[in-house]
Chain A
């Protein structure tokens, strides 16, 4: 388990070489910038370097294109300063933007035309059967004609005008909400009749350029619609072909523009002093040489490296975890809790081992474990989900412990012959004696893991020179002795009846560690050589710590008993599968098979989810809380920090 070693870098040079220097800094995204102005102790004469990023408009133009077309643009990393014609880049981006904007405008116009034609066809279809030429009707001089629709609510109100010869509505068709039809009136009465129909919420149908009957109008619009749809399809093909043709060049330009933009954005972190600039940041220690040689061509730029120990105390190095392939997927869990401090231990390997073992015990089934492996493989390969590799690893332990508990898809007798061939008797989870054994074993696992966590805390505390915590804390050496002694004596008393609780044992291994824990702060100050041993008044110290002792005594108990859930889930699995079989036995052989399959599926999904959450809870609350703080800040290149803030 490892945290990548970091080096503090100072990049200094003349202002006119700043762009070139920053472009070299940004290669490989292995530089974590720090704000120079806040970093320096004395900022007299320094000023920040802020300017509008000239690459942003070009990037936005390409981003907009990318959103409306597939495939989207991908970023390819820039690994060496590429000689690219900047003006050419700008011309290329303008030309591409204009080309696709023009195509987009045509696309929108066609879509609008198609939508209108569809609407007109739908509206005219309400008047088919009217064997009249609409152009002739509309050209009447003395009669006004209005085609349209009236709400069904308003239609009965027309009865009030049955005595008015000028208010005549002829319905043609009806839908859920309206009557479609036409009304006529003499030219002189048009204003009044229009007013009446307007108050009845009559909506006029305005279809431009319809000559002939409604059927002829529909035919004409349908012909136009077909033509427009064909044009739209051709246009879409043209856009996709253009995009495909230009995609590679656009992607290159996009990648390089992003790189230039990142380099420019480093100015936010830099400071200037007269004609010089100063930029500070972190790089992985193994990249020192490669980083140094990037600036060989720039005589006016100097690069200075410092180890983290020489950096100001308030500035902590960023964290990048470096783990082997087997435990790397579990970095996600560490990240969720919080990255370690630079001088803290990396808990990734610890969590990878304990998580797999606990998961395997709590989800112990050969068949379901294999299914889980397949599910994890699918999640990883097809969906690139981070949980996939974790499931693949935990499922292996599920299978192993499935062999231990003899469960294959819930069948507890399938492996009996295998056990017999090795001369072993099968382990039946639900037998009363075995239940007690499982629960006691869970507690034992909990005790062991608690002590391992304490050992890790001691190691971490000594490494970080936090002696109070490492030696005298409840998770330190004193706590370990106290806890271990209680467990040893209590366990022996329970198992064999031997009583270790003699006076010397109690005084040396229980009372003394308790007192050391009580006085952990002053003792830690003493060991660290601090002048003031008691940081507060003695009376205040004693009254405050008195309750704290109760708190951590209680935490020993709760942290230990919490592991009962490990055994509980073993029993839960057996119990739930028992229920599945009871239900399956109600059916015929075919129904039995189906019920068992479905039951296995439900139990596997439910249990996998529950167990995953419960084990994570044990890791975070019972184990991490003993030795891990997780206050580290992540290593972020300029691009990562920009995408995080978005």
Chain B
């Protein structure tokens, strides 16, 4: 499968798209923009986002609309690459759609929990409707959790969320729901990798996904330590995804049992991942840790000979770029100084 001609075309296409990414100069110029509209016009006229922002005409454009257009561009990018998948859209396309569905379900549940269920309609990505079996418009009409379960009937998500049936929004534990759904996602990912790949390609993909999962677990631990300093070890452990690959059990336990975020981070720095952290001082912990996956992706993009790994690397890099741009736009909107916004960015030169 990894040796098929279409898979090689996937590599070439992904690298071609990679070549058009934003440069450091683009980021500097974006940070110099004084308003959201100016940033949008800059993206339209000076970057490869131009065709996707063709409707942006003036400096009065809404920030949310720009984000929506950029997310649509991302999704269309991945879809166009999935065309090169062997034997149809089976592997990555399924993962992308599955991840999108989970993100929409969680978003809807989150808004329900805040009492803002009506807001989901405004955030609903219309472009995604054609790719999912879930009726997002029906999801937008839900007023209770049971309504959501009704909409999800017949999908794999219904049995995962059925234990929470009948609960009021304020009783829902969002982190455990998130853990359940992402566990399903990664179970499916590993199953697909097992079925469709072998040899070096399989190892590379597994390394990547395990890294993503393990770093996600580390971030969950750090967030929990930060937000709920009195939480018990079992509470923290129940929020983690049950996969391990590189981080040893002892190190994970040490992080879970750490008294503070700082202590947990110190344990992380001793792990194999942690030793790869850059020496850059300052910045936020989340960005520092997320940068690890980004740098691995950059390495794979440049040196890997396995098309699936190249595709995965591209998705990580593209998502990072999207996150950077959205952070910049939000930072400009809320008038943060450029230096502060820069700390939120994960850049190649960092």
Find B121's partner among A153, A160, A201, A203 (CB 8 Å cutoff).
A160
Q: Which residues of B contact A151 (CB under 8 A)?
A: 55, 65
Q: Is the interface on chain B under 10, 10 to 19, 20 to 34, or 35 or more residues?
A: 10 to 19
Q: Given the complex, which residues of B lie within 8 Å of A203, measured CB to CB?
A: 60
Contact status A200-B55, CB under 8 Å: no
List A contacts of B124 (CB < 8 A).
Answer: 157
A156 touches B55 (CB 8 A): no
Interface status of B54 (Cβ within 8 A of chain A): yes
Our pick among B54, B122, B126 for the contact of A177 (Cβ within 8 Å) is B54
> A154 CA to B126 CA in the complex, in Å?
7
A201 lies within 8 A of B65 (CB)? yes
Cβ contacts under 8 Å, B60 to chain A:
203
- Rounded to whole angstroms, the CA-CA distance of A156 and B128 in the bound complex is 13
Q: Are A201 and B137 closer than 8 Å at their CB atoms? A: no
Contact B141 A157 (CB under 8 A): no
* Contact status B68-A156, CB under 8 Å: no
B55→A178 contact, CB < 8 A: yes
Interface centre among A153, A154, A159, A199 (most CB of B within 10 A): A153
State A341–B55 Cα separation when bound (angstroms): 62
Whether a CB of chain A sits under 8 angstroms from the CB of B236 is no
- Give every chain B residue within 8 A of A177 (Cβ-Cβ): 54-55
Q: Which residues of B contact A153 (CB under 8 A)?
A: 68, 72, 126-127
State the Cβ distance, B117 to closest chain A Cβ, in Å: 12
- List chain B residues, Cβ under 8 A from A156: 126, 129, 137
Output the least CB separation between B324 and chain A (Å): 23
A172-195 interface mask toward B, CB cutoff 8 Å, 1 = contact, 0 = none? 000011100000000000000000
How far, in angstroms, from A160 to B62 measured CA to CA in the complex? 22
CB distance from B114 to the nearest CB of A (A): 16
- Chain B residues near A176: list those with CB within 8 A: 54
Contacts of B72 in A (CB 8 A): 153
A201 touches B54 (CB 8 A): no
Which residues from B are CB-within-8-Å of A160? 121, 137, 140-141
In whole angstroms, what is the CA distance A198 to B65 when docked? 10
Q: Within 8 Å CB of A157, what residues of B?
A: 121-122, 124, 126, 137, 140
Pick the residue among B122, B127, B137, B141 that contacts A200 (CB under 8 A).
B122
- Name the A residues within 8 Å of B65 (CB-CB): 151, 201
The answer to the question of B337 belonging to the interface, with a C-beta cut-off of 8 Å to chain A, is: no
A118 shortest CB reach to chain B, Å: 13
Q: Given the complex, which residues of A lie within 8 Å of B140, measured CB to CB? A: 157, 160
**Residue contact B126 to A201, C-beta cutoff 8 Å:** no
A40 nearest CB across to chain B (Å): 46
Bound-complex Cα distance A201 to B68 (A): 10
**Chain B contacts with A in 108-140, Cβ cutoff 8 A:** 119, 121-122, 124, 126-127, 129, 137, 140
Q: Is B122 in contact with A199, judged by CB distance below 8 angstroms? A: yes
* B129 contacts across to A, CB distance below 8 A: 156
Q: In the complex, how many angstroms separate the beta carbon of A163 from the nearest chain B beta carbon?
A: 10
B166 partner residues in chain A, CB cutoff 8 A = none
Minimum Cβ distance to chain B for residue A152 (Å): 8
> From residue B142, how far is it (CB to closest CB) to chain A in Å?
11
* Nearest-Cβ distance from residue A208 to partner chain B, whole angstroms: 16
Whether B64 is near chain A, meaning CB under 8 Å from some CB there, is yes
CB-defined contacts of B64 to chain A, threshold 8 Å: 199, 201
Segment 490-546 of A: residues with Cβ below 8 Å from B: none
What is the chain B residue whose CB lies nearest that of A200? B122
B350 → chain A, closest Cβ, in Å? 33
Chain A residues within an 8 Å CB radius of B141:
160
Render B267-298 as a binary contact track against A, CB cut-off 8 A, 1 for contact.
00000000000000000000000000000000
> How many angstroms between the C-alpha atoms of A147 and B24 in the bound complex?
41
Q: Within the assembled complex, what's the spacing in Å between the Cα atoms of A151 and B56?
A: 11
> How close is A119's CB to chain B, nearest CB, in angstroms?
9
* Chain A contacts with B in 420-458, Cβ cutoff 8 A: none
| Alpha-carbon gap, A151 to B124, bound state (A) | 13
**B-chain residues with CB within 8 Å of residue A200 when the two chains form the complex:** 122
B125 CB, nearest partner CB in chain A, Å: 8
By a CB distance below 8 angstroms, the chain A residues around B121 are: 157, 160
> How many Å lie between the Cα of A112 and that of B121 in the bound state?
39
* B residues less than 8 Å from A178 (CB atoms): 55
Report the minimal beta-carbon distance from A7 to chain B, rounded to whole angstroms. Answer: 50
A201 in contact with B127 (CB, 8 Å): no
Q: Which of A144-168 contact B (CB under 8 A)?
A: 151, 153-154, 156-157, 159-160
Q: How far is the CA of A198 from the CA of B119 in the complex (A)?
A: 12
What B residues does A199 contact at CB under 8 A? 64, 119, 122
Q: Which residues from chain B contact A201 at a C-beta distance below 8 Å?
A: 62, 64-65, 68
* Minimum Cβ distance to chain A for residue B191 (Å): 34
Complex Cα distance A201/B61, Å?
8
Contact with A along B42-61 (1 / 0, CB 8 A): 00000000000011000010
Across the interface, which residues of A come within 8 angstroms of B62, CB to CB?
198, 201
Per-residue CB contact flags for chain B residues 253-272 toward chain A (1 = under 8 Å, else 0) read: 00000000000000000000
User: How far does the alpha carbon of A485 sit from the alpha carbon of B137 in the complex, in Å?
Assistant: 95
Measured CA separation A178–B124 after assembly (Å): 17
- Cα separation A203 to B55 with both chains bound (whole Å): 11
Cβ of A349 to closest chain B Cβ, rounded Å:
48
Q: Give B87 Cβ to nearest chain A Cβ, in Å.
A: 32
Additional A-B contact list (9), CB under 8 Å, known A151-B65, A199-B64? A154-B126, A156-B126, A156-B129, A160-B140, A177-B54, A177-B55, A201-B62, A201-B64, A203-B60
Ordered by A's residue number, 20 sampled pairs between the chains whose C-beta atoms are within 8 Å are: A151-B65, A153-B72, A153-B126, A153-B127, A156-B126, A156-B129, A156-B137, A157-B121, A157-B122, A157-B137, A157-B140, A160-B121, A160-B137, A177-B54, A178-B55, A199-B119, A200-B122, A201-B62, A201-B68, A203-B60
Leading 8 A-B pairs by shortest Cβ distance? A177-B55, A199-B122, A153-B126, A201-B65, A160-B121, A201-B62, A157-B121, A160-B140
Residues of B bordering A, CB below 8 Å: 54-55, 60, 62, 64-65, 68, 72, 119, 121-122, 124, 126-127, 129, 137, 140-141
